[in-house]
Amino acid sequence: MANAEIERVGIGEIDLICDLYNQMFTPSKPVEFFQRRFEERKGVLILVAHLDKRPVGFTCGYDLRPTTYYAWLCGVVHDARRLGVASQLLAAEQALARENGYEMMRFECSNIARPMLMVAIRQDYDIVGIRWDARNQSNLVIFEKNLQDMD
């Protein structure tokens, strides 16, 4: 497992998040896609993972409800996958969410994103539901974790 340096960044780094996203996922998204998502959201948290000073992954989310943090997006560039970076990002995000008073963390993951599904299961997330994503024509698995139960 690689030891990623996890850095908390602000909205000012949205260009970097957009660039990383477009390296990982298709179709690509413009910066405005991220700006719109974060507009008027409370508790926005953005983390970037670096390996040897190179940004290789990110996670971002926001306040879903006063006690629930929603982890909206997480990704790792292709050549840095299977090194534990996503697990480290998720663990850091959980810790920060808990420090900020959230009791629960929630995220959704496409059923075809098997590596991320495994990360969630290894980190003791519960599957609390499934919903159909008409835009991507696939099921999304809904995960939650009680942050109060963390050691």
pLDDT: which is higher, 7 or 2 = 7
> Looking at residue 2, what is its pLDDT?
87
**Mean predicted confidence (pLDDT) in 85-104:** 96
What is the pLDDT, as a whole number, of residue 24?
94
Q: What is the pTM of this model?
A: 0.93
Q: Please give the C-alpha separations between residue 93 and each of 27, 131, 136, in angstroms, as whole numbers.
A: 26, 24, 26
Instruction: Tell me the percentage of the chain whose pLDDT exceeds 70.
Output: 99
Residue 149's pLDDT is 78
What are the DSSP E strand ranges found in 1-151? 5-9, 45-51, 54-65, 68-76, 104-110, 126-133, 138-146
Residue 150 predicted with pLDDT over 80: no
Domains in the chain, CATH or no CATH each:
5-107 (3.40.630.30)
Give 105's contacts (C-beta < 8 A, 6+ positions apart).
68, 69, 70, 71, 93, 94, 97, 144, 145, 147
Question: In this structure, what token pair is assigned to residue 130?
Answer: 């499934």
For 118-143, what is each residue's pLDDT tens digit? 999 999 999 999 999 998 888 999 99
Over the Cα atoms of the chain, what is R_g?
15
Annotate 31-52 with DSSP letters as a single string: HHHHHHHHTT-SS-EEEEEEET
The answer, yes or no, to whether residue 151 has pLDDT greater than 80, is no
